[in-house]
A and B are shown apart, each in its own frame.
Chain A
Amino acid sequence: MSFINYSSREINCKIVYYGPGLCGKTTNLQYIYRRTNPDQKGKLISLATETERTLFFDFLPLALGDIKGFRIRFHLYTVPGQVFYAASRKLILKGVDGVVFVADSQIERMESNMESLDDLQINLAEQGYELEKLPFAIQYNKRDLPNIVPVKEINKLLNHRDVPWFEGIAPTGKGVFETLKSVAKLVLFELKKHY
């Protein structure tokens, strides 16, 4: 649910990064934060445990620029990936405009990826959304690690809808902005359909 403000000429959209624990959702946001001009970003807020695991969410407001005189702002959120934070994950999906699914490319994480994707679908359905109808992009992260599943295979496993996908190495930024840009585009075109 975006917020279109004709008074301040702003459009605000919410993008949620979803995925299994330790897949690199927070790392995506941290990279975006580091590589964005200070005047385009707000504070990166992380509600994390002492061991830097996400407890509730990370939040990064981005003001990317103007389209037709309207300032376009994206609010990026991550969910806590760990299984037992299910209740919190549900809350963060409220009012989402677009979803990025960050998958962990390592062979031993495939099951977690699939579980998390199912979890996403169920949680969206509870809020009255269908993943099939939402702007959605997938990032196959950790492509620099040795024991990874070939992209073709992982794509067959996770990307049934054939949505835009990207290979990522989040700490170095590979694929990070490509993924964000792709989902942002989908969100804006979705808005265009309605206004």
Chain B
Amino acid sequence: MIGSDLVMYEEEFRKIDSELQKLHQQSNAKVVFLVDKNGQLIASAGETRDIDTTSLASLTAGNIAATGGIARLLGEKEFTILFHEGEKDNIHISLIGQRIILVVIFDQRSSLGLVRLRVKKSTEALARIFDEINKKVEKDKGEGPFEESPFAEISDEDIDSLFR
């Protein structure tokens, strides 16, 4: 398989979660979440109960992919920030490195300026955490897995049981 799969460990997940909680609080946002570019939800903070986060993650990734396609047509490498303004809610989407998408949903309790400022700070912190994860994954590949592999003894029957 080309490219590496995204792997998330307990320790880094906790760091990411606490960074998102901080961003959620400091930016006065309704919801903050992280998605990978393939549309998988990584983590979220805030009032997610009424939101279909799985669909939101996939559509956000589609949005970023489409915008990235437009960028390349125009000779840009990428548009790193997208902003959609609604009547009540606004959504701020930005890229962290080449792989991760940070989404902030906010209403009149916050402002675009505040969100941009806080997002910038969090982006640096989050980028560092994802670097750590990458290093760990590389190390795993060299020295054998850090955690027990769920695939070690996977069998035909295990897979058949998924479709019963």
Contact = CB atoms under 8 A, between A and B. Distances in A.
Interface in B7-40: 7-10, 12-14, 36-40
B145 interface: yes
Contacts of B122: none
Contacts of B59: 45, 59
Interface of A: 1-9, 11-12, 14, 42-43, 45, 47, 56-57, 59, 61, 64-65, 67-70, 72, 75, 87-88, 90-92, 94-95, 97, 127-129, 133-134, 177, 181, 184-185, 188-192, 194-195
Contact of A192 (B7, B154, B160): B154
Residues of B contacting A: mostly: mixed
B9 A6 contact: yes
Q: Choose among A4, A6, A8, A190 the residue with the greatest number of B CB atoms under 10 Å from its CB.
A: A6
A65 B162 contact: yes
B38 A91 contact: no
B58 A59 contact: yes
Q: Choose among A5, A57, A64 the residue with the greatest number of B CB atoms under 10 Å from its CB.
A: A5
Contacts of B3: 1, 95, 128
A68 B58 contact: no
Interface of B: 1-10, 12-14, 36-40, 42, 52, 54-55, 58-59, 62, 65-66, 68-69, 145, 147, 149-154, 156, 158-163
19 contacts: A1-B1, A3-B40, A4-B6, A6-B10, A7-B8, A7-B12, A12-B40, A14-B39, A42-B54, A45-B58, A56-B66, A59-B55, A59-B58, A61-B54, A64-B163, A67-B159, A68-B150, A75-B58, A133-B1
A94 B58 CA distance: 12
Contacts of B40: 3, 12, 14, 75
Q: Rank and list the top 6 A-B pairs by shortest CB-CB distance, nearest first.
A: A95-B38, A7-B13, A192-B151, A91-B65, A64-B162, A70-B150
A57 B62 contact: yes
Contacts of B2: 127-129
Nearest to A194: B1
Nearest to B11: A7
